[in-house]
Structure 1
Amino acid sequence: MAEAAFKSLRETADLRHLRQIIVGLDEGVILIDPDQSLLWANDAALAMHGVGDIAELGATVDEYRARFQLRYRNNHRVEADDYPIERVVAGDSFSEVVVEVTVAGEESPRWVHQVRSLVLNDADDSEPACLVLIIQDVSARFEAEDRFEQSFNANPAPAIICRLSDLRYVKVNQGFLDMTGHHRDQVLCRTVYDIDVLRGAEKRDLAKERLGEGRTVPQMEAELELPDGSTKLVIVAGQPIDMGDQPCMLFTFADLEPRRKAEGALRHSEERFTRTFQMAPVPMAIGARDGHLLCEVNASFTQMTGYGVTEIIGRPLGDVQLWESDATRRQIEAAIDGGRDLRAHEARIHARDGAAIDCLISTEAIRLGDDACVLWAFQDITQRKATELELVEAIEAVMKDTSWFSRSIMDKLARLRAPQTDAQGPGLDDLTARERDVLGLICRGCDDKTIARTLDVASNTVRNHVARIYAKIGVNRRIAAVAWARARGFDGEGVAVDKHQRETAA
């Protein structure tokens, strides 16, 4: 019946050939009689509605409306008079109307159609001879846009999209709103000039040029102005995209404000440390952990050593010859390289003028910025050591006879004179058996006469043995020899003492 109506409608050759022209088009085409009958539809139009022939599409406009429910993209239902098929019958001319199409009885739409109208008139008649509905299936495009929309909104990374034609913002995600404190309505429809995402950018001119050309804006630091008038440091980058058929620019951001605050706090902390370091009355230095180079010294250090800042900074301590000996330097550097901190380690250093300075040295591993460093602290005990030695010498001058002292006093005097005797160097095996006997009797508090009587030798022989012992172990005083022996666990207990001397000592 529809076929007969179609033939009666078309008396001219042009209309008879119309079906042949549109049958193979990718766009869907529906021909409608002015009396609201659906005359014919090409295969593309049928497929876009999931039907196989015109009868399933509907014989009339009313049947079509009953079988397919339409709504706009904003989820508002399309009223009956606003159906594109109704509007074309009413003679309305329109283009690019986008609707979602749902089969009657179903809840979710199956397709998204973009529809436009066409009215065909006879050459000699102003009345329409045929009404045409032209349909494009844009479901895939809008599905992709929906996926992008969901991803864009769910992405925690701040982002905003502006239309290139007028530089107005058309989309903004929650990440941007959270970062800036703006409300969505305050952002949308405003321009790049209103909310300047390139404010204070390090390459602002380049960014504006790329934005005007619709090209990629490279990453750069910028400062966003916030609603309260403060600013936020960010990294901004722009990527051209298409939203529908409109070219746009997607701006994405990385919030650098936490980094700036952390850097500010670190800088203030380092400034406080530097002030404290420079004003400290204790001689201090900062050195690189790798290479043992000094990076900084304070005023107390230069005052103690006599080295100026330019003379010692950037040089290994071994080259400066700060340490008394290479053995001392190697011992201290080995401890630092092994990750150990020194605490009140006694060592001797040399001042610039060659003067010896006895110090207690402490170190602490620290970090300055990204660098591993060592903080050195030096306590000058030269005067204290001198006072202690003067005390010992005074006691020795008054009390020449060591037999007057008890064993505990001898030990204390030995520790006082040599608190950190190095166990390396000459050992007991370097002494002869007779020299060890003499040294043992010295450790037990015997004088030369008692040693001579105990060993049954002459006093000169004892003095010769004592001189050789001093030369071998590197000392020149009796108490130093006792300290040397005690450091090696030798106290002379195995040497028999003359009975008369034992009674005298008792």
Structure 2
Amino acid sequence: MASSLTSLRETADLRHLRQIIAGLDEGVILIDPDQTLLWANDAALKMHGVSALEELGHDVDDYRRRFQLRYRNNRRVAADDYPIERVVAGDSFSEVVVEVTVAGEEEPRWVHQVRSLVLNDRDEDAPTCVVLVIQDVTAQYEAEDRFEQSFNANPAPAVICRLSDLRFVKVNDGFLEMTGFARDHVLSRTVYDIDVLRDADRRDLAKARLAEGTTIPQMEARLDLAEGGNKLVIVAGQPIELNDQPCMLFTFADLEPRRQAEEALRHSEERFTRTFQMAPVAMAIGARDGHLLCEINASFTQLTGYAASAIIGRSLSEVGLWAGKDTGREIERAIEEGNGLRGHEAGIATREGGHIDCLVSTEAFTLNGDECLLWAFQDITQRKATELELVEAIEAVMKDTSWFSRSIMDKLARLRAPMPDERGASLDDLTPREREVLALICRGLDDKSIARALGVSGNTVRNHVARIYAKIGVNRRTAAAAWARARGFDGERLLAEANA
């Protein structure tokens, strides 16, 4: 052995060998069978953070003291399992991966992938030199660590299967939480044991892409759950390499919340539709923009005479529903300005040419994702007719009050007008002449009779009446008389004083 050592050191073989391996990207350490470190190329020195062979160590024991090794599972490498020990012992190995820590430090600096090589003399079986070949795979494993951390921390459910046998090799917490499976249960199954493509809308395409190892586009599928049943998901596949093996990364989006929301929305819209059709109030639904009708209920047809086929797809103005053009323009302008209607009084024309007085209300809402407008029409024709008849009856009675008792007149006056508001107009706001005119109005006299009684022209009386209306806030004679009687003024004493 000593002669081999002397021969190798003294001949040109070592120099030639050093020249050959000096420029290699891989690190190479030459070790004498007596465990002395003979030489290392620049790549090997750099992979240990040193610049000279002496800093690697004089021999194998010195190397162990300077550098501590751990396996990737964080287990310390025993002294006799160091790759440099094993190669000297004659072991042949390849792709041993270790983490290298400088003595005195806590965290590893590098990750080395190591293999062995033994050089024998031509004439002897005993090795003349053993070689440690090192690759720095730190960047690769750092990238894998980052991927591992990102994969596990990603809240989006994901699994990775190996393409060679379609078995799952990685699964993240998001997938386990969504399905309820245990990690070991998933990692012992294939893609079709836990079928990630069940009921996929393009299952045949997905299977073909999986066999080819190419991208699987997004598609809806159903994913089995640990406790039975399944849930609706969107699944997609992306080919990746993991530990130098071709794999497929499956990612999932849980559609169950969306499905439940859509189901709830559908039920809500169905209830709205039933309520809309059964409502006793005439109602219509139109587009928010353009006011084109898309639905009417039976009460609308009963009120207006328009069937759905005659009005849907047209606006209310186009149909001629409004009794006057100004009415339609006023309503549409208010809606376009973003002002909803609440009990807006308007006249509408029926299909047969009739006239109906209505209170119109609108409400903006969303239906099937579209901005819509709900119209409601309350028929007040009969109510207005009744009010008009009552007013006319009161006016007729008050034209001759001589036989009507004062108490009944006062009750009618209170029905017609509210109790006096201290903040409103009072009798003191009227001039003496206006009080005289008001007194004659209370006695039921018309403008001509008042003019004769006061000895003035009819125009003068009309001017006085207009000023009285403006001051007390009324617009007809019966209302003025009711206002006066509500304040205890009938004008008889005033007229008596005037005649005296």
Report the TM-score range of the alignment, normalised by the length of the smaller protein: 0.7 to 0.9
Task: Give the corresponding residue for 2:127.
Answer: 128
CA shift, 1:214, in A, is 2.9
SS in structure 1 at match of 2:7 = helix
Distance, in Å, in 2 between the alignment partners of 1:379 and 1:287 is 17
Q: 1:442 touches 1:482 (CA, 8 Å); kept in 2? A: no
Task: Give the corresponding residue for 1:427.
Answer: none
Distance, in Å, in 2 between the alignment partners of 1:7 and 1:502 is 156
1:29 aligns with 2:22: no
Q: Deviations over 1:138-188 (max 9, x none)?
A: 112212222222222223333332223333222222233223323222222
Distance, in Å, in 1 between the alignment partners of 2:172 and 2:113 is 27
- Which amino acid is 2:198 matched to? R
CA shift, 1:271, in A, is 1.2
Distance, in Å, in 2 between the alignment partners of 1:442 and 1:211 is 102
Task: Give the corresponding residue for 1:447.
Answer: 445
CA shift, 1:100, in A, is 0.5
1:74 aligns with 2:73: yes
- Which amino acid is 1:238 matched to? G
Q: Specify whether residues 345 and 407 from structure 1 end up closer, same or farther in structure 2 by C-alpha distance, changes over 3 A only.
A: farther
SS in structure 2 at match of 1:327 = helix
CA shift, 1:204, in A, is 3.0
Q: Specify whether residues 101 and 282 from structure 1 end up closer, same or farther in structure 2 by C-alpha distance, changes over 3 A only.
A: same
- Report the TM-score, using the length of structure 2 for normalisation: 0.79
Task: Give the corresponding residue for 1:150.
Answer: 149
Distance, in Å, in 2 between the alignment partners of 1:502 and 1:194 is 111
- Which amino acid is 2:69 matched to? L
- Which amino acid is 2:353 matched to? G
Deviates most, 10-19 or 179-188: 10-19
Distance, in Å, in 1 between the alignment partners of 2:110 and 2:494 is 124
1:42 aligns with 2:41: yes
Q: 1:287 touches 1:293 (CA, 8 Å); kept in 2? A: yes
Deviates most, 78-87 or 440-449: 440-449
Q: Specify whether residues 124 and 388 from structure 1 end up closer, same or farther in structure 2 by C-alpha distance, changes over 3 A only.
A: same
SS in structure 1 at match of 2:208 = helix
Q: Deviations over 1:365-400 (max 9, x none)?
A: 322243332222222232333344444555566665
Q: 2:69 touches 2:100 (CA, 8 Å); kept in 1? A: yes
Distance, in Å, in 2 between the alignment partners of 1:455 and 1:155 is 97
Q: 2:394 touches 2:478 (CA, 8 Å); kept in 1? A: no
Distance, in Å, in 1 between the alignment partners of 2:478 and 2:286 is 36
Task: Give the corresponding residue for 1:208.
Answer: 207
Deviates most, 164-173 or 269-278: 164-173
Deviates most, 181-190 or 75-84: 181-190
Q: 1:343 touches 1:361 (CA, 8 Å); kept in 2? A: yes
SS in structure 2 at match of 1:51 = coil
SS in structure 2 at match of 1:296 = strand
Distance, in Å, in 1 between the alignment partners of 2:331 and 2:414 is 28
Distance, in Å, in 2 between the alignment partners of 1:288 and 1:269 is 19
Task: Give the corresponding residue for 2:278.
Answer: 279
CA shift, 1:302, in A, is 1.2
Distance, in Å, in 2 between the alignment partners of 1:132 and 1:75 is 26
Task: Give the corresponding residue for 1:473.
Answer: none
Task: Give the corresponding residue for 1:166.
Answer: 165
Q: Specify whether residues 225 and 68 from structure 1 end up closer, same or farther in structure 2 by C-alpha distance, changes over 3 A only.
A: same
Q: 1:414 touches 1:483 (CA, 8 Å); kept in 2? A: no
Alignment of 1:410-425 (within 5 A): none
Deviates most, 57-66 or 92-101: 57-66
CA shift, 1:317, in A, is 0.5
Distance, in Å, in 1 between the alignment partners of 2:227 and 2:340 is 50
Distance, in Å, in 2 between the alignment partners of 1:302 and 1:442 is 51
Deviates most, 128-137 or 331-340: 331-340
Task: Give the corresponding residue for 2:221.
Answer: 222
1:346 aligns with 2:345: yes
Q: Specify whether residues 167 and 480 from structure 1 end up closer, same or farther in structure 2 by C-alpha distance, changes over 3 A only.
A: same
1:117 aligns with 2:111: no
Q: Deviations over 1:262-295 (max 9, x none)?
A: 2221111111111111112222222222222222
Gaps of at least 5 residues in structure 1 are: 416-435, 470-478, 490-496
Identity value in percent? 71
Deviates most, 39-48 or 14-23: 14-23
Task: Give the corresponding residue for 1:430.
Answer: none
Q: Specify whether residues 328 and 63 from structure 1 end up closer, same or farther in structure 2 by C-alpha distance, changes over 3 A only.
A: same
Distance, in Å, in 2 between the alignment partners of 1:34 and 1:292 is 96
Task: Give the corresponding residue for 2:263.
Answer: 264
- Which amino acid is 2:263 matched to? G
Gaps of at least 5 residues in structure 2 are: 419-433, 466-473, 484-490
CA shift, 1:101, in A, is 0.9
1:326 aligns with 2:325: yes
SS in structure 1 at match of 2:299 = helix
Task: Give the corresponding residue for 2:196.
Answer: 197
- Which amino acid is 2:283 matched to? M
Distance, in Å, in 2 between the alignment partners of 1:443 and 1:199 is 90
Distance, in Å, in 1 between the alignment partners of 2:303 and 2:58 is 108
Task: Give the corresponding residue for 1:474.
Answer: none
